[in-house]
């Protein structure tokens, strides 16, 4: 959905990369419009950092292309790509002070003298470290180091900013505040950015779009609301938010409703039959889509194995034939060890059916 005549800021086409035969990224394609922030989200080993390094040019892909501003940079090395990068451990030059760290990229591009000093000061002011030029980097706090790394990456005015887990190296108490500052700054300067994270909250908070990666494959790309409400696979559903997945048999359908069988009991669920062959499927239920009821032969029933009080709701895990269902209910609904039944709420959102192998 690009404007006519304007190419997307970042375009990735069928990118693939393997290390010694182990596939890290497979057939990855995506586009990112100017000024948007993309979060690459996935568990460790999902290929998100490799993807970022492919964008930066530190790794070269087996196949596929990377285009920045419509220009094919796949065969360019990092030196000429003009991607700013914030490294996970910041990678500040320990032998240079703050000002010289920030000036480094400017000098590489031939910016010298007063112009360089002015832009260094500007970049430092942007991250609220004005006047820190002559400080040694090992005398800075973690949050300050992170901001210097950001200023250093931004000073040469890169075409795109890449951030590798930029908050993971900070204290938890500092992380939330820094995240807010980072979001405000990135939106203020309107730069196109790609961010790697393994935390869903961070991805949703910072990214306009989130790409969920799993074993090197792009599972789903979209705004946070869409990922939560309409997950494309049971992996996305499980990785984003809570819920339980159960194997079910498909017994029939009627419009947008599907009749499924769970170990002797049957349910009508508000979801279409998933594409693909076979009569097996995976039923995914958000905790708020189900409720507790009395145990009976007509509904999946079992023992409450854990009870977790989280404030607004209490989460119960009920062991039913074929799996465990997580149910949100009020604090007095049941105790651990009680036998209960699980029932679907009326017209509940948060019920998804996926093909059995997804």
Partner 1 sequence: MPDFRRRRAEWLGWGLLAFLAWLVVYPIVLVLIEGIRDGNGWSAEALHRFVVEPAEWRALWASLWLSVASVVAAAVIGVPLAFLVTRFAFPGRRLFSALLALPAVLPPLVGVVAFLFLYGESGFIAHIVRALFRVQEAPWRLEGAGAVLLVHAYSMYVYFYLFTRASLLSMDASVLEAAASLGARRWRTWWKVQVPLLRPALLGAGLLTFMTSLASFSAPYIFGGGFKVMTTQIVATRLNGDVRLAMVETLALTVVALVALLLFRRAEGHGHGRGTGKGVPPAPRAVRHRGVRALLPVLTGVVTLVMLLPHLTLLLVSFVPRGTWTVQALPPVYTSQNYVALAADPERLRPMVTSLWMATVSTLGAVLLALAAAALVVRRRVRAAGMLEGILALPWAVPGTVFAIALATAFSVHAPEAGRLVLVGTVWILPLAYLVRNLPITGRSLLAGFRQLDPSLAEAAATLGAGRIRTLVRITLPQLRPALAAGAALAFVTALGDFVTSIILYTFGSRPISMEILGSLRQSDVGVAAAYGVVLMGASGLVFFLAGDGRRVNG
Interface residues toward partner 1, by CB under 8 A: 56-58, 77-85, 87-96, 104-105, 108-109, 136-139, 145, 152-153, 156
CB of 108 to partner 1, least distance (A): 4
In the bound state with partner 1, the residue whose beta carbon lies nearer, of 2 and 60, is: 60
Closest by CA position to 88, among listed 139, 44, 22: 44
CB of 155 to partner 1, least distance (A): 9
Strand ranges of the sheet holding 290-294, from the earlier edge strand across to the other edge? 290-294, 339-344, 301-309, 314-320, 323-329
In the bound state with partner 1, the residue whose beta carbon lies nearer, of 155 and 269, is: 155
Q: Tokens representing 192?
A: 């196109």
In the bound state with partner 1, the residue whose beta carbon lies nearer, of 161 and 283, is: 161
Contacts of 187 (CB under 8 A, 6+ apart): none
CB of 278 to partner 1, least distance (A): 44
In the bound state with partner 1, the residue whose beta carbon lies nearer, of 83 and 186, is: 83
CB of 61 to partner 1, least distance (A): 16
How many residues in total does the chain contain? 358
CB of 111 to partner 1, least distance (A): 10
Closest by CA position to 237, among listed 249, 219, 250, 223: 219
In the bound state with partner 1, the residue whose beta carbon lies nearer, of 20 and 346, is: 20
In the bound state with partner 1, the residue whose beta carbon lies nearer, of 122 and 266, is: 122
CB of 10 to partner 1, least distance (A): 16
In the bound state with partner 1, the residue whose beta carbon lies nearer, of 89 and 308, is: 89
CA distance linking residue 28 with residue 37, whole number of Å:
18
CB of 88 to partner 1, least distance (A): 7
Q: Tokens representing 97?
A: 């002070």
Query: Tokens 């993309």 appear where?
Result: 38
The percent of the chain in helix, strand and coil, each rounded to the nearest 5, is: 25, 35, 40
In the bound state with partner 1, the residue whose beta carbon lies nearer, of 41 and 153, is: 153
Task: Give the containing element (helix H, strand E) for 40.
Answer: strand 37-41
* Dihedral sign computed on CA atoms, order 82, 66, 239, 353: positive
Burial of 98 (0-12, 13-18, 19+ CB in 10 A): buried
Task: Give the containing element (helix H, strand E) for 53.
Answer: helix 48-56
Q: Tokens representing 83?
A: 């991607």
CB of 53 to partner 1, least distance (A): 8
Decide if 230 contacts 274 (C-beta within 8 A).
no
Decide if 147 contacts 92 (C-beta within 8 A).
no
CB of 172 to partner 1, least distance (A): 18
In the bound state with partner 1, the residue whose beta carbon lies nearer, of 110 and 311, is: 110
């Amino acid at each position: 959905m690009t404007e006519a005549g304007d190419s997307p800021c970042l375009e990735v086409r069928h990118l693939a990369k393997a290390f010694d035969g182990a596939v890290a990224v497979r057939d990855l394609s995506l586009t990112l419009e100017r000024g948007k922030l993309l979060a690459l989200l996935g568990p460790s080993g999902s290929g998100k950092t490799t993807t970022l390094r492919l964008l930066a040019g530190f790794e070269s892909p087996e196949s596929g292309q990377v285009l920045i501003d419509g220009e094919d940079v796949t065969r360019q090395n990092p030196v000429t790509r003009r991607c700013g990068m914030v490294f996970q451990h910041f990678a500040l030059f320990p032998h240079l002070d703050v000002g010289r760290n920030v000036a480094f990229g400017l000098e590489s591009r031939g910016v010298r003298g007063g112009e360089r000093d002015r832009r260094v000061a500007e970049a430092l002011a942007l991250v609220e470290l004005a006047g820190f030029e002559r400080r040694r980097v090992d005398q800075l706090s973690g949050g300050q180091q992170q901001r210097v790394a950001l200023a250093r990456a931004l000073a040469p005015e890169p075409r795109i900013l890449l951030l590798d887990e930029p908050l993971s190296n900070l204290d938890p108490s500092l992380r939330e505040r820094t995240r807010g500052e980072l979001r405000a700054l990135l939106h203020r300067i309107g730069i196109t950015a790609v961010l790697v994270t393994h935390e869903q909250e961070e991805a949703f908070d910072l990214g306009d779009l989130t790409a969920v990666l799993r074993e090197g494959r792009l599972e789903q790309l979209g705004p946070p609301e869409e990922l939560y409400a309409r997950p494309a696979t049971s992996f996305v559903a499980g990785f984003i938010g809570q819920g339980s997945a159960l194997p079910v048999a498909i017994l029939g359908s009627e419009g947008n409703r599907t009749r499924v069988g769970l170990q002797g009991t049957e349910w009508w669920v508000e979801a279409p039959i998933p594409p693909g062959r076979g009569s097996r499927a995976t039923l995914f239920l958000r905790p708020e889509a189900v409720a507790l009821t009395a145990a009976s032969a007509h509904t999946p029933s079992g023992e409450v194995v854990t009870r977790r009080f989280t404030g607004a709701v209490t989460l119960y895990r009920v062991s039913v034939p074929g799996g465990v269902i997580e149910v949100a209910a009020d604090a007095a609904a049941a105790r651990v060890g009680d036998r209960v039944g699980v029932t679907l709420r009326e017209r509940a959102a948060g019920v998804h059916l996926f093909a059995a192998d997804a």
